[in-house]
Every structure is written in C-alpha cells, then in structure tokens.
Amino acid sequence: MLQGGVKFANISATAAVVFPGNRGRMAYIIATANMKGGVGKTTLTVNLAASLAKYFQKRVLVVDLDTQISATLSLMSPQDFAKRRKEQRTLKHIVNQIVRQGNATNPTVSDVVHHYIGSLKGFDLLPGDIDLYDEFLVSETLFEQASQDPNHNFAQAWNRLERVLLERILEPLHKDYDFIVLDCAPGYSLLTRSALVSSDFYILPAKPEPLSVVGIQLLERRIEQLRQNHQLTDEVTTQLLGIVFTMTGGLFASRYYRQVMQRVHTDFSAAKVFQTQVPNDVSVSKAVDSFTPIVLSNPSATGAKVFVKLTQEFLKKLEINLGEKEQKTKLNLAAIE
C-alpha cells in the first residue's frame, strides 16, 4: 500500500529494476513532447518525475525547455525564479555558453540545478527561462562554423548544433540521476529538436480530440525528418515510449472522443498507447498554487493516484522497450560477426 491509498502488486520489484543497455551512463533521458500546446504536457512531466522520486526511489531531474516556464513555476515560486534569474542561474546562461564556446564554465550546469523540490531528496529542477537562448548568437555561431567548412554547409552546422547542444548541457549530470525528464516546448524549436535527438525515449501526451491527434502526427513526421537529417553522421535512436491521453472524462467521455482514441490505438498499436489515462481533476490544477506536484501535495487525490499508476506503467514499458532494444543490438552484432 502506497501513501494516499494507492495499491499495486510487486511495486517494490518494479522500483528495484536495473534496466539494461544504458551505454555506460546512469540517466535515461525522457522527452515529453507534442507539436500542439495545451495537452497537459507539463502536468504530466512534473507528476511523473515526482512519482518516480517519491514512490519508486529514483533520482530525477526535470529540465524546463519551454519559454512559458510552466514546469519551473510548477516547482518554484515566482519570487524564487526571479532571484535565480537575477543571479544568472537559469538554463538560458548554460545554453548561451554552450553555443558560444562549447562548454559551460560560469555558472556550470550543476550550479543552476535547484535541489530538493518539495523537500524531496532526489527530485531536482533545471529551471528554464522566458528567453532560453540568444537567437542572434545562434545565427552568428552557425555562420562562423559554416564559413570554416570548405563546402560552406550551413545545414550540416545546424545539425551539429542540435545534436550536441542538449547532450553537452546534460553530460555532467548523468551520474547524478536515474532519469532526466525534458519538458519540451510545443512546436519545433531548436531546443525541442535537440531534446528529441538527445533522448532515449519520448512520451506524447494528447487530449482525445482531433487537433491533438494532428499534433501527434506532426511530431512523428518531424522526428522522421530528424532521423533523415542525421543519418549520415549520428543516428537518431529515440523511440516512442507511448501516447498518454490527458484531460479525459467529462466532455471527452463522449462517443465521438472515444472514436478519436480508438483511431490512435489503430494507428500506433496498443503497445504504444498507455492504458492509464489522466482525467480532469481540479486538485491537479490547484496544486500549482503550492508549487508542488499533486502526487506530493495531495497524494490521496484521484489525480495523484492516477499519476502513480501511470508511473508504474511507464517503468514497465521502459523495461520492455529496453529489453527489445538490447536484443536487437545483439542480433545486429551477431549478423556483423
């Protein structure tokens, strides 16, 4: 029995799983993304991360890559954020250092991490910013790099930047965490692309409505485009872990919206859709006022119990996918030999 009355079988075994195939580093990088906004992406991100830390004893870092800074303001007060911004301890300053010189020296990324969210050990935040990077600086850096290329290949310089940007930011943090969860901005910004290129898996939150489903299709096309852009250098290996339906119930319980969800099941197969759905729950929205996810502030709430259940399903899906990935690697190596 978990706090708040959440009951699962074999939960201790699930929490103790040692996942295979982590390429010699600790953290698995999970991106949450949808081309469309307003689908509950940030709520899913922070509650998944909090549940992993509280109920499954994982060390988790949330990285806010959205200039709306919803994840940041869900986990710290505006006053704390303003203070950190004044002290230049937000992700913006790390991004600009990486773009300018290839590494972060002052502050370092470790200096920027905010620890003990909700007084919970192992639950940390890399705060975002309302202006995450200097677009002029990015353009200037890419122009310089392309000019040094004999072929003046601007596209190649761009691909190289989106490949290394998040990887270099996160590299010093891998040893400190089991999971790094990237809250991506809607759309297809530089940091969203870099997040997808750098991640092991991505989760797609979606409302059961047609426009949200379009966001799923658009993101899948964009990721395929990323794979093609990078196929001659470094392979993009991120995989869809699953689609999570959010804001279900109420209006979205009608026959029409059930048909929309069924269409997604048909397009992606049952294995790529989470069985656990996140219902509308006003207590989840109210939790933002306390700058603490619902699974920490009100664990007995319906929404909190759903997120814990979703997290257990997340761990099971991850274990299955990593096993399949490792088996595929072994088969490929055997074929080479």
Whether residue 330 has pLDDT greater than 70: no
162-175 confidence digits (pLDDT tens): 889 999 999 999 99
Among residues 62, 40, 38, 4, the alpha carbon closest in space to that of 308 is found at 4
* Distance from C-alpha of 126 to C-alpha of 248, rounded to nearest angstrom: 30
* Distance from C-alpha of 64 to C-alpha of 66, rounded to nearest angstrom: 6
Confidence class for position 18, pLDDT limits 50, 70, 90: very low
Q: Helix, strand, or coil here: 180?
A: strand
* Distance from C-alpha of 260 to C-alpha of 329, rounded to nearest angstrom: 35
Whether residue 43 has pLDDT greater than 90: yes
* Distance from C-alpha of 12 to C-alpha of 16, rounded to nearest angstrom: 6
Domains of the chain, by residue range, sit at 25-282+290-336
133-191 confidence digits (pLDDT tens): 888 888 888 888 778 777 767 788 888 888 899 999 999 999 999 999 999 999 888 99
Are 99 and 141 in contact, with CB atoms under 8 Å apart?
yes
Question: If one looks up domain 25-282+290-336 in CATH, what number appears?
Answer: 3.40.50.300
Q: Helix, strand, or coil here: 312?
A: helix
Are 204 and 33 in contact, with CB atoms under 8 Å apart?
yes
Strand 201-206 vs strand 28-32: parallel, antiparallel, or unpaired? Answer: parallel
Which pLDDT score, from 0 to 100, does residue 38 have?
86
**314-325 mean pLDDT:** 90
User: Across all residues in the chain, what is the average pLDDT?
Assistant: 85
Which pLDDT score, from 0 to 100, does residue 25 have?
55
Which residue carries 């096993």 as its tokens?
323
